[in-house]
Amino acid sequence: MENTYFRKGFGLKNEIAGRLTADYHSAIVETLRANEYRLNLGPLTFRLAREFGFCYGVDRAVEYAYETRTKFPDRHLFLVGEIIHNPHVNQKLRDMGVTLLAHRDDGEFDFSGVTPDDVVIMPAFGVTIRDFERLRAIGCVLVDTTCGSVLNVWKRVESYARDGFTAVIHGKHYHEETKATASQVMKYPGGRYLVVFDMDEARLICDFIEGTGSLAALEAKFRHSVSPGFDFERDLLRVGLANQTTMLSGESLGIAEEVRKSVVRRHGPDAAQQHFRSFDTICSATQERQDAVMALLQEPLDVMVVVGGYNSSNTCHLAALVQQHGITAYHIADADAVDVATGAIRHQPIGTKSEAVTAEWLGSSRIIGITAGASTPNNKVGETIARISAVAGVDLEAALG
């Protein structure tokens, strides 16, 4: 009988290595790495964060998708949503003949075109229990690229549900990873979850735990962010904190501490451990990229460019981190956002969901910081540097010899 579930790769790394290099390698990035992450180009100095771009989980997911195409050259390949939040990488998969499955109007993924003879790749964010069960029922081959850091969060919220604690998840309720994480608690009959986006939302929960919040206000605010049948009076008596792996770690830890304090004030310090649990579930790669940005900000910078998909949570948080420390940050989805002909930059302003174009953004800036989200390949970082150089009138090829 054919094995229809794969999670550990197909042992085809050597076969796909050349294609991965061709698709994602950057000589410019390698030059920066060899020069202590610094590059002087005439009037410009580029400084690259020491941790940036593809993390281990993304590397694995992309490699596994390429291996899948090699393993099943004659099968129809589908991908649930996007493999990662990067438009360039997802387009590469489309070019390889992978069909990206979209949501129907009711919010469910449309699996109507998938047959038992097909192969379906599950993304690095994972999929919900419901979607996994729907795919298993079809009988198709499943290739699971779910990141190990995400799986660790799943184990944590499962343990909360098993022990009768509500999982309070710091994340975006509409994000694929958070949806998949929240679904894990539903394995248990009494499983409950609540998703908080930021400290302001967390404080509403804290007020209610302490007996001062409005039930009607909570029900209205979190109507899209709680498990079915959620009862705030019952389900906030015992809570366990977790988070989407790509959130700002300082905020996640701060939210956990505020909730802990409220639980102590409500139940007393001796009984707090019976009502509160918390574990830092930010992934190490997310933390390393945030730390690298903070280190970069310790030295003079005129402007920062952050490269990564607009729907990439960790990229958005990197850009926000820069802006919080007083440096102008431009979050661009791809290198072509830097318009060499006009000198303008197309970007997503921090804290918004809309795109803007800023003319003459480079101005007199001479020291330019560069970083990239965990879903951004090196070639897009290198292309960004090349295009910024061109805007400044620098001949990159000549400068690099």
Tell me, yes or no, whether 122 and 153 share the same domain. no
Rounded mean pLDDT, 156-162: 97
Where do runs of H (alpha helix) occur along 102-222?
129-138, 148-162, 176-184, 199-209, 215-221
Tens of pLDDT, residue by residue over 180-207, are 999 999 999 999 999 999 999 999 999 9
Give the number of other Cβ atoms within 10 Å of residue 300's Cβ: 11
Longest Cα pair distance anywhere in the chain, in angstroms? Answer: 69
pLDDT at 381 over 80: yes
Residue 8 lies in a domain: no
Tell me, yes or no, whether 105 and 184 share the same domain. no
Query: In sequence order, what are the residues at sequence separation of 6 or more whose Cβ sits closer than 8 angstroms to the Cβ of residue 177?
Result: 125, 126, 150, 171, 244, 245, 246, 313
* Residue 241, H or E segment: strand 239-243
Tell me, yes or no, whether 235 and 168 share the same domain. yes
358 close to 338: Cβ distance less than 8 angstroms: no
Query: In sequence order, what are the residues at sequence separation of 6 or more whose Cβ sits closer than 8 angstroms to the Cβ of residue 106?
Result: none
Residue 40's pLDDT band (boundaries 50, 70, 90)? Answer: very high
Rounded to a whole number of angstroms, the distance between the first and last alpha carbons of the chain is: 58
Tokens describing residue 362: 């480079």
Tell me, yes or no, whether 350 and 392 share the same domain. yes
Residue at a domain's end among 146, 174, 196: 146
46 close to 39: Cβ distance less than 8 angstroms: yes
Tell me, yes or no, whether 278 and 157 share the same domain. yes
Residues 258 and 251: their CA atoms lie apart, in Å, by 10
3-state SS assignment for residue 266: helix
CA angle 328, 330, 333 (to 5 degrees): 165
Place of tokens 């599950």: 122
Tell me, yes or no, whether 264 and 312 share the same domain. no
Residue 2 lies in a domain: no
The residue among 362, 370, 372 whose CA lies nearest residue 394 is: 362
Give the residue with greater pLDDT, 279 vs 232: 232
Residue 5 lies in a domain: no
Query: In sequence order, what are the residues at sequence separation of 6 or more whose Cβ sits closer than 8 angstroms to the Cβ of residue 122?
Result: 80, 132, 135, 142, 143, 144, 145, 146
Tell me, yes or no, whether 154 and 260 share the same domain. yes
51, 82, 176, 177: the active-site residue: 177
> Residue 368 region, left (φ>0) first, then alpha (ψ -120 to 50), else beta?
beta
The residue among 17, 15, 29 whose CA lies nearest residue 383 is: 29
Q: How many domains does the chain have?
A: 3
Residue at a domain's end among 92, 119, 146: 146
The residue among 304, 287, 315 whose CA lies nearest residue 361 is: 304
Tell me, yes or no, whether 85 and 184 share the same domain. no
Tens of pLDDT, residue by residue over 47-92, are 999 999 999 999 999 999 999 999 999 999 999 999 998 889 999 9
Tell me, yes or no, whether 153 and 278 share the same domain. yes
Residue 3 lies in a domain: no
Q: Is 177 a catalytic residue?
A: yes
Give Cα separations from 353 to 173, 183, 310, 334 (angstroms): 16, 26, 8, 16
**In terms of residue numbers, what domain contains 247?**
149-282
Residue 103 lies in a domain: yes
> Average pLDDT, whole number, for the chain?
94
Rounded mean pLDDT, 100-104: 94
Look up the CATH number of the domain holding residue 241.
3.40.1010.20
Confidence (pLDDT) at 158:
97
Residue at a domain's end among 123, 146, 169: 146
Residue 2's pLDDT band (boundaries 50, 70, 90)? Answer: low
Residue 6 lies in a domain: no
pLDDT at 1 over 60: no
Residues 387 and 201: their CA atoms lie apart, in Å, by 40
Tell me, yes or no, whether 185 and 271 share the same domain. yes
Residue 232 lies in a domain: yes
Residue 4 lies in a domain: no
Tell me, yes or no, whether 375 and 308 share the same domain. yes
Tens of pLDDT, residue by residue over 294-346, are 999 999 999 999 999 999 989 999 999 999 999 999 999 999 999 999 999 99
Tokens describing residue 282: 């930010």
